Amino acid sequence: MTAEEILQQIRARFGSEIRTSEVRRGEASVTITGDRNLEICRFIKEELGFEYLNCLSGVDWIGENEMEVAYAISSLRQPGKIILRARIPRNEPVLSSVVPLWGTANWHEREAFDLLGIRFENHPDLRRILLPEDWIGHPLRRDYQDERFVPYPWDDRKPGSVVRPTTA
């Protein structure tokens, strides 16, 4: 299945959800709105047969006031790669979890939650994974301040200089 065919099938099925779609370096590259990401992923996995989730990474598009979750999906049985980007509003970054489809999404989504504050609905165990449990803020957001400004619960020496980072 070529990248062009993949795109056609996705377009035919989820036309209204798709913002942009193109073939880049032989890979299908799709941007969607976040509402039906689980269904599109299920379609890609079960009907197009791309059963291997390589990577899941969040991106903070602060200029457009949006968050993005990029799924890099491929298959062990056929060539071809898909990069699926789901855009969600930045002030309420909520997305359905794809853990029912791929076990590996569990930790990737926890990491996106940890570092970017993207919440995944129906995730079995959504808590911080790399940062300490009492950490405030999400460091990979573009407006996250230097760690010196993170207010520790026990530190109130310089209340004026403390910039409280956004907490989702």
Partner 1 sequence: MTTVNLHLQQVKERTAESMEEMWVNMGPQHPSTHGVLRLLIKLDGEVVRECIPYMGYMHRCHEKIGENRAYVQIIPYTDRLDYLASMYNNWAYCLACERLMGIQIPERAEYLRVLIGELQRIASHLIWLGTFGLDLGNFTLFMWCFREREMILDLFEAVSGQRLNYSFMRIGGLALDVPEGWLGDVKAFLQWFKPRLPEYDRLTTDNIIWQKRIQGVGILTPEDAVSYACSGPMLRGSGIRWDLRKNDPYGIYDRFEFDIPVGTRGDVWDRFWVRRQEMEQSVRIVEQALTEIPPGPVLAPVAKKLRAPVGDIYSRVESPRGELGDYIVADGSEKPYRYKVRAPTFVNLSALPVMLPGYLVADAVAVLGSVDIVLCEVDR
What does the alpha-carbon distance between residue 113 and residue 110 come to, in Å, rounded to a whole number? 5
Residue 168 contacts partner 1 per CB under 8 A:
no
Q: Tokens representing 74?
A: 């491929």
Q: Is 93 exposed, middle or buried (0-12, 13-18, 19+ CB in 10 A)?
A: buried
Q: Which stretch binds partner 1 (CB under 8 A): 4-12, 13-21, 32-40, 68-76?
A: 68-76
Q: Which residue has the tokens 């619960």?
A: 153
Residue 66 contacts partner 1 per CB under 8 A:
no
What does the alpha-carbon distance between residue 58 and residue 85 come to, in Å, rounded to a whole number? 9
**Smallest separation (angstroms) from partner 1 to the CB of 147:** 9
Is residue 25 a contact partner of residue 33, using CB atoms and an 8 Å limit? no
Task: Using the minimum distance from each CB to partner 1, give the nearer residue, 18 or 72.
Answer: 72
Task: Using the minimum distance from each CB to partner 1, give the nearer residue, 95 or 102.
Answer: 102
**Smallest separation (angstroms) from partner 1 to the CB of 100:** 10
Residue 36 contacts partner 1 per CB under 8 A:
no
Tell me which of 17, 40, 60, 117 binds partner 1, using CB under 8 A: 60
**Smallest separation (angstroms) from partner 1 to the CB of 54:** 6
Tell me which of 11, 19, 46, 79 binds partner 1, using CB under 8 A: 79
Task: Using the minimum distance from each CB to partner 1, give the nearer residue, 59 or 162.
Answer: 59
Q: What DSSP string describes 26-94?
A: TEEEEEEEGGGHHHHHHIIIIIS---EEEEEEEEEETTTTEEEEEEEEE-SSS--EEEEEEEEESSS-E
What does the alpha-carbon distance between residue 88 and residue 41 come to, in Å, rounded to a whole number? 16
**Smallest separation (angstroms) from partner 1 to the CB of 149:** 14
Residues in the site for partner 1, rule: CB under 8 A?
A: 24-25, 27, 51-55, 57, 59-60, 70, 72, 76, 79, 81, 83, 102-104, 106-108, 115, 125-134, 139-140, 144
